[in-house]
């Protein structure tokens, strides 16, 4: 089974951090316990930011080890850890980058995944990200799911299914009945809200490209 059980938040952060460092700093991978704690507690590229102590990470590693998702690596004076996600979840390079971003930052649009995932894999375009998401969402044990579009959102977001199922937002707000004299104002407000949502989307993608 690819997903024997939902992983808890600390386990998700550990897996995401191991995946990230394997791709962004392979010269330091596998990671020591201290390096993994620092990676889990990073303030950049993390949502939410966590404050884990070595005991938290050590206990998560032992639980993940029991699921054959991580294991320790010998050959040095200090114990190091590596993940087994590539084999367990059948990940290639583009899928690994997408899953890593979803584990570390939560639900995102394909555009956000492309911009933020470029540090780990150079995508040919947005179409490649969308193809990867569809592939990860298929089969008897999907790893990701497309969330219903929320109010004011122009793009749908995707979430991983490796932990507890994501909280779903309402697909659309209930219709509002207005008097004839107020209808024009209501329509103008609705258009402004759509424009603001679109600007927020573009700002998020720009910040992602700048590495914020």
* Residue 191, number of CB atoms within 10 A of its CB: 10
- What pairs with residue 71 in β-bridges? 82
Domain hosting 136: range is: 93-209
Written as six digits, the tokens of 79 are 């114990």
Same-domain status, 124 and 178: yes
With contact defined as beta carbons under 8 Å apart, do 20 and 120 qualify?
A: yes
* Residue 44, number of CB atoms within 10 A of its CB: 7
Q: What is the CATH number of the domain that holds 63?
A: 1.10.10.10
Establish if 2 belongs to a structural domain: no
Q: pLDDT digits over 62-93, tens only?
A: 999 999 999 999 877 899 999 999 999 999 99
- DSSP secondary structure letters along 82-108: EE-HHHHTT--HHHHHHHHHHHHH-SB
What is the count of structural domains for the chain? 2
Q: pLDDT digits over 2-49, tens only?
A: 888 999 999 999 999 999 999 999 999 999 999 999 999 999 999 999
Which pTM value belongs to this model? 0.78
Chain centroid to Cα 98, Å, comes to: 7
Same-domain status, 107 and 194: yes
What whole-number distance in Å separates Cα of residue 36 and Cα of residue 80? Answer: 9
Same-domain status, 47 and 110: no
Using the 3D structure, point to which of 70, 88, 106 is the last residue of a domain. 88
């Amino acid at each position: 089974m690819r997903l024997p059980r939902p992983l808890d938040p600390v386990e998700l952060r550990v897996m995401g951090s191991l995946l990230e460092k394997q791709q962004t700093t392979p010269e330091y991978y596998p990671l020591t316990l201290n390096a993994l704690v620092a990676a889990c507690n990073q303030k950049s590229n993390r949502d939410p930011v966590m404050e884990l102590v070595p005991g938290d990470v050590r206990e998560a590693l032992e639980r993940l080890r029991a699921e054959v998702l991580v294991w320790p690596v010998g050959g040095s004076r200090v114990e190091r850890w590596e993940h087994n996600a590539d084999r367990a979840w059948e990940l290639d390079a583009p899928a690994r980058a997408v899953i890593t971003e979803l584990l570390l930052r939560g639900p995102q649009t394909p555009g956000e995944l492309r911009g933020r995932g470029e540090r780990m894999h150079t995508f040919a375009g947005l179409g490649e990200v969308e193809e990867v998401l569809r592939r990860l969402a298929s089969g008897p044990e999907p790893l990701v799911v497309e969330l219903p579009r929320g109010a004011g959102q122009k793009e749908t977001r995707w979430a991983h299914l490796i932990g507890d199922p994501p909280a779903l937002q309402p697909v659309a707000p209930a219709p509002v009945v207005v008097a004839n004299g107020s209808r024009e104002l209501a329509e103008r407000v609705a258009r402004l809200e759509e424009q603001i949502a679109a600007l927020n989307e573009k700002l998020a993608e720009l910040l992602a490209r700048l590495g914020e």
